Structure 1
């Protein structure tokens, strides 16, 4: 049955009448509480489909202060961000979001909700059209993604640096990023490399590590298990302790090191210095992720810069496009990181030679 979308405001009771359900049941489903109230999946799907067909628009602003007279209501976008990454990454996200909202004629409010690694499911009842127009999720773990894939949502969902067949996403080519680091080490003549990752690995981190190790094998670079470390946390202390434990006990240390998180680098440099390993003379280092502090370490650190600003702009532009045009088909975009060459590791030799000739 093809029902024409209403031009006037559609109310919950009208959806209930069409489906011959109680307004209470429809309200529970549209508020994202269908599972907790044991409403069948079939009924929830009927309600969501009818709400979409009738162009139901929830009264989110009833929970907020009234808009000034004549002012257009804002789109309310929730940003769920993993607590492990509440640092410069979130700051860069908001820089990108600000640029989009500044250049847009749309009113956009952004609500931030931190969550713990693997605990996104605690907020499932909040991710619905009665609260937000859309949700952007950053730092999701494998468990978080599994939870999301098993759920049905009535608003656009966009994943940051994660990929899904069900949801829209903006991501970095993580596997190719890892290969890119191995390729640089190979071009600079390294035959033995180490890798330092963190304990709470997301899918992106694992793909970068896989891309790096497989490319090292392809290029003839040995990555021994004794040169592989896993930091407990993404901070100075963890980087320091892991380098001491996994690298300094070896008589034969690698000449190249890929540090998978820039939060570890300060401790890494201190541990190497204490053990008389010079950077870059004895060991060249690349770190995944860039921030201003890498310009002030001794030596300064070469990084694989994640285009967070562009990711944020892409995610919010995609979200507004989906909302404005009522798009439900998943969209995606892949971005490529680039090197910021500093003292800890030089560039590809051919590029260095071309710079010297200028």
Structure 2
């Protein structure tokens, strides 16, 4: 196993310089950028991993040497997603009997490169990066941290990941509407925080058209991410010329749409059906009025897979790759079989 002394020898610097750089104090000690680059290249080439447990022992505390996992979570994603993720982590840790300390590191989409802890890896043994934007993925690919990194719900040729096939989500929604007999559909979308959101929508539209369901441009509506955004944007679908069914980018938007339809006297599903991506708290969708049909994103299952991947990497297993999880359709009363006379 490579040591800090090995890194120093390869980078042709002193051990103290390596320590300064790995501890994130390069700017404070005015270490040249070229020197920092040489050290990080040596770290990656040698596969050096900082001894986090030793640092914890120096910090004191009888429980100090435990395994610490950093969870990098984008701060602009809704809290229910994180709650579901952490529940999955709890389930897997209980099932496998391992003890891990999980520490949440909030970050802003597109600004992961500014995080110093991920660069030094001196505070944790492994990191799970969740909900990364394209800029964040590009940064990680070009500047891999000096320790095990797992991606949540993103794909990468360099890092192990647990993810769902986004195209499948849109296809499942379209197939359900086709099976129910709907012939027109719209989309209540949100700003694409990552490429997968656009893939879901594109796959839905393509599958609809292949099944003979018309999706007109005027029925493609954009909103924010919150329930209130769904309330406001859904007003575009309350008129008589609206589509028979609406595919929502999240259950939060769909819950807002249900409220808007109720206020406008639009009956669901008789006058307007709703189906959504289920990425929030499942209980809200299951107990709405009427209960909401969703294509459920397997957040808990992906979280459990992240724990497994962490264990495999920390155990230094080879060929640790990606884990693809499947979304599942949960039909409820917000969609229904369309009578043949109404098709």
Q: Is TM (by shorter chain) over 0.5?
A: yes
1:249-264 equivalence runs, <5 A? 251-264=240-253
2:128 corresponds in structure 1 to 136
2:333 corresponds, among 339, 343, 348, to 343
Count of matched residue pairs:
333
Cα distance in 2 between the residues matched to 1:310 and 1:34? 39
Taking the aligned partners of 1:72 and 1:275, their CA distance within structure 2 comes to 58
How far the C-alpha of 1:168 sits from its partner, in A, is 1.3
**Structure with higher RCO (Cα < 8 A, 6+ apart):** 2
Does 1:311 pair with 2:302? yes
Tell me the equivalent position of 1:247. Answer: 237
Alpha-carbon distance change, 31 to 283 in structure 1, aligned in 2, over 3 angstroms? same
| 1:60 Cα deviation from its structure 2 partner | 5.8
Q: Is the 8 A contact 1:192 1:223 kept in 2?
A: yes
Q: Secondary structure at the match of 2:147?
A: coil
> Unaligned regions of 5+ residues in structure 1, if any?
350-358
* Deviation larger for 192-201 or 57-66: 57-66
- Asked whether 1:192 is paired with 2:184, we answer yes
CA distance in 2 between partners of 1:201 and 1:254 (Å) = 26
Q: Tell me whether 1:66 sits opposite 2:60 in the alignment.
A: yes
Q: Which of 148, 151, 161 in structure 2 is aligned with 1:156?
A: 148
Distance in 1 between residues matched to 2:297 and 2:321, nearest whole Å: 20
Given the superposition, is the C-alpha separation of residues 37 and 182 from structure 1 closer, same or farther in structure 2, using an over 3 Å criterion? Answer: farther
Q: How far does residue 200 in structure 1 lie from its aligned partner after superposition?
A: 4.1
Q: What pairs up with 1:1-358 in 2 under 5 angstroms?
A: 5=1, 10=3, 12-13=4-5, 15-17=7-9, 20-31=12-23, 37-39=32-34, 41-50=37-46, 52=48, 57-59=51-53, 61-62=55-56, 65-68=59-62, 73-232=65-224, 234-244=225-235, 246-248=236-238, 251-289=240-278, 290=280, 291-325=282-316, 327=318, 329=319, 331-346=321-336
Gaps of 5+ in 2: none
TM-score of the superposed pair, with normalisation by structure 2: 0.87
CA 1:106–1:347: 2 relative to 1, 3 Å: farther
Measured against aligned partners, the alpha-carbon deviations of 1:106-149 in whole angstroms (never above 9, x if no partner) come to: 33110011222333222144343312111111121222222222
Pairwise CA distance, 1:82: 1.4
C-alpha change, 1:189 and 1:306, in structure 2 (3 Å) is same
- Matched position secondary structure for 2:163: strand
Tell me how far 1:67 sits from its aligned partner: 4.0
Q: CA deviation at 1:63?
A: 8.0
Q: What per-residue deviation string (whole Å, max 9, x for no partner) do you get for residues 5-60 of structure 1?
A: 47xxx4x34542465421233224434677985135454212433353xx763456
